[in-house]
């Protein structure tokens, strides 16, 4: 059955109403007729008979009038309303430029005009949005092009993955490093041995999953303990036989949870091959030198043992000595001149706490090999230069082989500290291991349970410049294998980012005039807020009374360009000070006095910050405090900040005058912003920048678009209680 339109519905209503009126009229006429007397009936019939022509004419006129009225209502109200509904759908659905043009009653025309006016505004907004989208798309495409060029030109391979290992971005260099050439096939002869790399594919098809898991497993603990460096380095042999150094950089969500990771890959295959060739040549030359020395020694011994040797024989032995000495000297000269600088392995190894390495070995030995491992805890300052995953697996591989060979299930470790090396002994009760057995194992590829690396034990030891041997202990009932590893100094201490959110005690108002900065100019006043280049900054101090001598201990800043927060363009620096850092301030920002040792002084830091912020608008939260802090250093440093200033605290009071609190945490909560690194200078600066960007459209809704309008509105707020 076809669907009824609104016009059909109207005519059905008209027909139904007409029939209902006729039926009611007839019913009333019948009832009235039944109530009349005979004389009355005769009178009515006679009247109708005499005046029938007039009655018929009146009826026709009445029906015609009603018909015209219904038709007028239909054409002036019903049909126009139907068209308005349809054409409004066209405006909102497919064509914002469409307008309603119709004839109808005055009310209907006014409604159509109102809709057209709204449509004009909608089209303007739609066009503005489309233009912004187009501009943003162009910018994105430009950024993508730049990023593509940069990634393409990088000598390192870059792979960006989700937390589950799905590849979301990679460059051509990564594809070259991780994929095997098509001629190198797997055992089935059907697929490349190195697997495929591509968007949406798993990175574990080209990199062993345990290696990545090992690199990422410590990140939650590092986050909880406040570690600043969350990267992890390791060396791997890809499935296409390339030797790669990989750096794993975690990608964190706003809640500081792992949402992905970046692999940065460097190829050391050629360098390692050169290193192996040098090693081989060095060994060959060493054998030649030893042979020459042996010949010289034999000749000298003959001359010494036989003083009455005939002169001809003595001369012959002397010529042998001379020849072999020249040969050995030439060989050593060639070695020194050509290869002395290439003897060490070119692959840099990351620093690792010895205690962490031993714990990794113990866990893997118990879980993967069923071995018991114990020993004294390593001192916290001890560090070794080691690829944690491959060396831990190699160590468990050795212990597993010892256990299988001698029936040993329990080991204990002991440390022998030397100047530049650490001897790591794994001791057991029982007979010693034959050295020949160790040399056999060195030729085997490392595998433990379901894990393995595509390298032999000898290659892993050579890469780490490690030595391995077996020996009987001081107690003749015990024996051990020793792994000699390179010891390194601990990495320098860096300034940690605190994640603790604490209540601030910073005074809300301070004696600095924000509204009469000398750097203000009419041209700058008329610039839109969305077009300004801003430096958003924050400071941390020794205390809260800067008039009584409290000084800056840290400053952090970030730039905003064309309404975009550029976190890559940031400034963060600790400041050396002679003032005592008060405990109440330490509880807020966590900066201990020893962290300031060796840092640049205030003059150096302000010179760097002045260059960083030159030609920009300064933005801060409670900016009067920070600007007064900078102003008090003018005589000492000769550095003056005359940049125009905006205060997010005052701007928040402009757009939300009914709110009682305008501290950083309250504003961030209202605007749905999570401030990471609260009460660190850079963390608060980034949070303030995000708040400022959220305030710009809210200011626009109140008619504030330019820098001058923002400054004037800020001046009028109740919170602008500055002292002059």
First to last CA, the chain: 82
d(CA 96, CA 182): 54
How far does CA 109 lie from the centroid of its chain?
56
d(CA 116, CA 96): 10
> What letter would DSSP give residue 302?
H
CA distances from 137 to 129, 130, 523 (A): 12, 10, 29
Dihedral (C-alpha) 621, 623, 625, 628: value to the nearest 10 degrees?
Answer: 160
378 Rama sector, left if φ>0, alpha if ψ -120 to 50, beta otherwise? beta
State whether residue 682 is helix, strand or coil. Answer: helix
Determine contact, residues 203/216, Cβ cutoff 8 Å.
Answer: no
Cα atoms in the Cβ-side hemisphere of radius 13 Å centred on 437: 14
d(CA 101, CA 415): 93
Residues with Cβ within 8 Å of residue 331, at least 6 apart in sequence: 285, 288, 289, 292
The candidate with the shortest Cα–Cα distance to 483, out of 402, 416, 425, 415, is 425
Residues with Cβ within 8 Å of residue 419, at least 6 apart in sequence: none
Residue 10 in tokens: 């109207």
Q: At what angle do helices 79-93 and 6-35 cross, to 10 degrees?
A: 160
CA distances from 653 to 507, 510, 560, 622, 657 (A): 17, 17, 22, 12, 5
Q: Which of 420, 679, 705, 719 is catalytic?
A: 679
d(CA 215, CA 628): 46
Residue 513 in tokens: 């005039």
Among this protein's residues, is 656 annotated catalytic? no
State whether residue 134 is helix, strand or coil. Answer: helix
Strand partners, 352: 384
Give the pairing type, strands 232-237 and 552-561.
unpaired
Residues with Cβ within 8 Å of residue 698, at least 6 apart in sequence: 655
Which residues form the catalytic set? 679
């Amino acid at each position: 059955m076809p669907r009824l339109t609104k016009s059909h519905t109207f005519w059905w209503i008209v027909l139904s109403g007409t029939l209902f009126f006729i039926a009611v009229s007839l019913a009333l006429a019948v009832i009235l007729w039944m109530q009349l007397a005979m004389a009355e009936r005769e009178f009515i019939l006679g009247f109708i008979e005499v005046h029938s022509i007039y009655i018929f004419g009146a009826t026709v006129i009445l029906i015609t009038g009603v018909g015209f009225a219904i038709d007028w209502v239909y054409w002036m109200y019903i049909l126009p309303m139907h068209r308005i509904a349809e054409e409004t759908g066209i405006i909102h659905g497919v064509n914002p430029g469409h307008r309603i043009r119709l004839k109808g009653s005055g009310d209907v025309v006014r409604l159509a005009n109102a809709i057209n006016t709204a449509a004009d505004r909608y089209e303007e907004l739609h066009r503005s949005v489309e233009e912004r989208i187009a501009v943003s798309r162009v910018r994105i495409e430009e950024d993508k092009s730049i990023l593509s060029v940069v990634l393409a030109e990088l000598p390192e391979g870059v792979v960006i993955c989700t937390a589950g290992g799905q590849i979301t971005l990679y460059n051509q260099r990564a594809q070259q490093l991780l994929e095997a050439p098509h001629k190198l096939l797997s055992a089935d002869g059907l697929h490349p041995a190195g697997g495929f790399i591509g968007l949406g594919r798993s990175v574990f098809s080209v990199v062993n999953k345990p290696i990545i898991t090992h690199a990422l497993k410590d990140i939650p603990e590092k986050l909880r303990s406040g570690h600043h460096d969350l990267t992890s380095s390791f060396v791997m042999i890809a499935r296409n036989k390339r030797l790669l150094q990989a750096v794993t950089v975690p990608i964190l969500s706003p809640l500081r949870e792992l949402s992905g990771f970046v692999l940065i890959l460097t190829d050391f295959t050629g360098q390692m091959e050169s290193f192996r060739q040098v090693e081989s040549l060095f060994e060959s030359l060493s054998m030649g030198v030893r042979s020459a020395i042996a010949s010289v020694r034999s000749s000298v011994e003959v001359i010494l043992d036989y003083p009455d040797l005939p002169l001809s024989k003595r001369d012959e032995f002397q010529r042998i000595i001379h020849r072999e000495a020249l040969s050995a000297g030439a060989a050593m000269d060639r070695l020194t001149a050509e290869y002395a600088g290439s003897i060490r392995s070119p692959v840099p190894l990351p620093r690792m706490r010895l205690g962490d390495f031993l714990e990794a070995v113990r866990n893997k030995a118990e879980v993967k090999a069923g071995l018991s491992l114990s020993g004294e805890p390593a001192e916290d300052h001890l560090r070794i230069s080691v690829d944690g995953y491959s060396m831990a697996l190699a160590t468990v591989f050795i212990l597993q082989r010892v256990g299988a060979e001698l029936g040993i299930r329990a080991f204990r470790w002991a440390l022998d500290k030397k100047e530049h090396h650490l001897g790591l002994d794994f001791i057991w009760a029982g007979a010693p291991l034959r050295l020949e057995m160790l040399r056999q194992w060195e030729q085997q590829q490392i595998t433990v349970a379901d894990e393995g690396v595509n390298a032999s034990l000898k290659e892993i030891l050579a890469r780490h410049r490690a030595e391995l041997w077996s020996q009987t202990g001081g107690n003749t009932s015990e024996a051990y294998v020793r792994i000699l590893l390179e010891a390194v100094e601990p990495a320098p201490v860096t300034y940690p980012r605190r994640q603790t959110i604490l209540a601030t005690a910073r005074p809300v108002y301070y004696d600095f005039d924000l509204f009469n900065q000398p750097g203000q100019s009419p041209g700058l006043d008329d610039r839109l807020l969305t077009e300004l280049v801003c430096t958003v900054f924050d400071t941390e101090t020794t205390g809260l009374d800067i008039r009584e001598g409290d000084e800056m201990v840290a400053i952090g800043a970030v730039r905003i360009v064309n309404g975009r927060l550029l976190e890559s363009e940031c400034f963060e620096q600790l400041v050396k000070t002679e003032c005592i850092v008060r405990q109440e301030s330490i509880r807020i920002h966590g900066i201990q006095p020893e962290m300031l040792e060796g840092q640049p002084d205030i003059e150096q830091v302000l010179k760097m910050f002045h260059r960083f912020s030159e030609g920009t608008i300064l933005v801060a939260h409670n900016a009067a405090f920070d600007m007064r802090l900078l102003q008090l250093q003018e005589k000492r440093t000769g550095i003056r900040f005359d940049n125009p200033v905006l205060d997010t605290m005052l701007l928040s009071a402009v757009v939300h005058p009914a709110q009682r609190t305008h501290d950083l945490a309250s504003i961030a909560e209202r605007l749905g912003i999570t401030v990471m690194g609260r009460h660190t200078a850079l963390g608060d600066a980034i949070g303030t920048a995000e708040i400022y960007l959220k305030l710009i459209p809210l200011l626009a809704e109140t008619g504030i678009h330019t820098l001058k309008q923002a400054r004037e509105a800020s001046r009028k707020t109740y919170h602008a209680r500055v002292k002059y």
